[in-house]
Amino acid sequence: RRKSGELDAGYDETSGVWELIVRYVGDIEFLKNIGIRIVYLINNYAILYVKTDNIEMITQMEQIIYIEKPKRLYYSVVSGKRATGVDFLINEGYKGKGVFTACIDSGIDFSHPEFRKNDGSTRIFCMWDQSDNRGTAPQGYDFGSVYFSDEINMMLEKGVRTNNDFSGHGTHVAGIMAGNSGIASESEIIVVKLGRARSGGFPLTSEIMMAVNFVINIGVVVNRPIAVNLSIGNNYGSHDGNSLLETFIDTAVDYGRSVMCVGAGNEGDAQIHTSGKLSESSEEVVELEVGEFQTSFSAQIWKEFVDDFSVRIRIPGFYSEELIVSDDVVQSFSLTDMQIKIINGYPSPYSRYQEIYIDFIPDKEEGFVRPGIWRIILTGKKIVVGQYDMWLPAGVGRVKNTRFLRPDPYTTLTIPSTSRKVISVGAYDVTTGRAAIFTGRGYTRLNRSVKPDLVAPGVDIISAMSGGGYTALSGTSMACPFVTGIAAVLMEKYILSGTDSYLYGEKMKEFLIKNARKLLGQNKVPDEIYGYGGVYVPRRQ
């Protein structure tokens, strides 16, 4: 666990406590009597903080329907306004006034002029910094600090800087979505800086669930429509929309008058996904190149549980040496310089698919995985469907040359853009009218839900830079806030005027899908790369 980045996620070494995501029924308040801390989320989801010795007991309780361990998450305007058609509405005076926009990301530079009114005061309604324990935690949570607009204004007057966005990602995203030069430039902004202070610095899926819970509840309590932006994701899961993170987000979209937009990720050309189809007695060899200086990483194999096939791993440099993967739930192999741990999963109450998780762990904490070509050999035994998919970590979870040598660029959406009810957004280049080479591609695995839903400008987008000034960045992280801002503008025009009080949730998604434009490189509608096309707001609606 200590040496594996993924297996360690959610565990606090000092306290010996695991952070667990659960679905429950009935009353679980009694868990507090045995020292378990609870953060209640909407729709019978919760985060539990449980000592290792109590986990087995928790799994046996009839109130606990299902448990998942959190995973790590990685962070993946002017011409864009014209390309999406929203400039016409903005010029008519629709700028998101009376609507909340929410940016759940790496924080925000709240002192930047893009997020201040003409009198210098802030446009931020509130911000929850999950990494800052100097102030008061939001009600219902016991970590981080929440700052409302009056406190932010006091800090601005005193020149105090907190909630700094060190990566600049959140500031750039928020600038596109709702900066003074952005789309919804008169909306009030809610910010969550993800990730408690910890080694490695990457937020967990449990923290994003709490962030979503936090911002959605504000919209309900204040009774305002809210457009939420998630330009963040990971690669861990079956990519079919059935993890607790994905299903929770789907239920959250049904709560209040909300729209949630999620970036499709930047893994389309990263060679981190491969797939194939086995028949009985057939054999496939998947070649995985591990680059120099690769630290601990994992590979996931996802298959139908009804299918049986054997797995062997051939080690680079020792072509006669193979590791035979058994049906044991946990299996470990010790090599001279590293370990390989394999975990055989089972279907869950929400998914019929099976995961075979392979963890490559150097012996030394600062060591590296053996470089070279690893071969994962699959042989069909009893095959009903035969389809398999493999994924490597997204983003910074791997070095550049760690990749599959026979990659499949499709089904490279990051999670939670695979959630059913969110608006999943890919990226295209306004100057060429074609999809960005990096954009995450669909559809979802096996159930073939159409994802992404649409694409938006995401190449060389100029927006606010943390610390002041502006910079150009590319990614679906930049495309997603275009759609979030457009949703906020449309909510102002229709919901707040009473013209259409129900333009949120699935109805907003269908409105945007119906009006999406077919782009140059798009072969069909819908399409695995473009979804239904480029987001567009027609003048006549």
Which range, of 29-33, 231-235, 262-266, 404-408, averages the lowest pLDDT?
Answer: 231-235
Q: Look at residues 268, 321, 287 and name the one whose alpha carbon lies nearest to residue 434.
A: 268
Q: Is the pLDDT of residue 319 over 70?
A: no
181: pLDDT confidence band, cut at 50, 70 and 90?
very high
- Cα dihedral 370, 372, 375, 376 sign: positive
Q: Is the pLDDT of residue 361 over 50?
A: yes
Q: Is 461 left (phi over 0), alpha (psi -120 to 50) or beta?
A: beta
pLDDT for 218 = 98
Q: Angle CA(450)–CA(259)–CA(348) in degrees, nearest 5?
A: 55
Average pLDDT of the segment spanning 116-136: 95
Q: Is the pLDDT of residue 211 over 50?
A: yes
The Cα 93–Cα 171 span in angstroms is 24
The Cα 299–Cα 17 span in angstroms is 26
The Cα 51–Cα 13 span in angstroms is 11
The Cα 375–Cα 399 span in angstroms is 18
Which range, of 38-42, 76-80, 186-190, averages the lowest pLDDT?
Answer: 76-80
Q: Percent of the chain having pLDDT more than 90?
A: 81
The Cα 398–Cα 199 span in angstroms is 17
The Cα 351–Cα 523 span in angstroms is 32
Average pLDDT of the segment spanning 482-505: 97
Q: Look at residues 183, 231, 169, 150 and name the one whose alpha carbon lies nearest to residue 80.
A: 183
Q: Is the pLDDT of residue 352 over 90?
A: no
Q: Give the number of other Cβ atoms within 10 Å of residue 396's Cβ.
A: 11
pLDDT for 45 = 96
Q: Look at residues 532, 503, 519 and name the one whose alpha carbon lies nearest to residue 425.
A: 532
pTM, entire model: 0.90
Given the structure tokens 């280049």, which residue do they identify? Answer: 429
H or E, element range at 511: helix 505-515
Q: In this predicted model, what pLDDT tens digit does every residue of 457-486 receive, in sequence order?
A: 999 999 999 999 999 999 999 999 999 999
pLDDT for 1 = 62
State how far the alpha carbon of 396 is from the alpha carbons of 36, 392, 393, 458, in Å: 33, 11, 8, 20
Q: Is the pLDDT of residue 540 over 70?
A: no
Q: Is the pLDDT of residue 143 over 60?
A: yes
pLDDT for 541 = 59
> 540 or 131, which is more confident?
131
Q: Give the number of other Cβ atoms within 10 Å of residue 493's Cβ.
A: 20
193: pLDDT confidence band, cut at 50, 70 and 90?
very high
pLDDT for 76 = 47
Q: Look at residues 149, 79, 82, 164 and name the one whose alpha carbon lies nearest to residue 116.
A: 149
Q: In this predicted model, what pLDDT tens digit does every residue of 76-105 receive, in sequence order?
A: 466 778 889 999 999 999 999 999 999 999
Given a contact cutoff of 8 angstroms between Cβ atoms, the answer to whether 77 and 181 are in contact is yes
Q: Look at residues 73, 67, 71 and name the one whose alpha carbon lies nearest to residue 20.
A: 67
Q: Is the pLDDT of residue 60 over 50?
A: yes
pLDDT for 75 = 55
> 320 or 157, which is more confident?
157
The Cα 176–Cα 78 span in angstroms is 10
The Cα 426–Cα 416 span in angstroms is 13
Residue type at position 522:
Q
Q: Whole-angstrom distance between the N-terminal and C-terminal Cα of the chain?
A: 55
Q: Percent of the chain having pLDDT more than 70?
A: 95
The Cα 396–Cα 414 span in angstroms is 13
Given a contact cutoff of 8 angstroms between Cβ atoms, the answer to whether 535 and 84 are in contact is yes
pLDDT for 5 = 61
Given a contact cutoff of 8 angstroms between Cβ atoms, the answer to whether 295 and 288 are in contact is no
Q: In this predicted model, what pLDDT tens digit does every residue of 401-432 receive, in sequence order?
A: 999 999 999 999 999 999 999 999 999 999 99
Q: Is the pLDDT of residue 67 over 90?
A: yes
43: pLDDT confidence band, cut at 50, 70 and 90?
very high
Q: Look at residues 40, 56, 48, 52 and name the one whose alpha carbon lies nearest to residue 15.
A: 52
The Cα 112–Cα 467 span in angstroms is 7
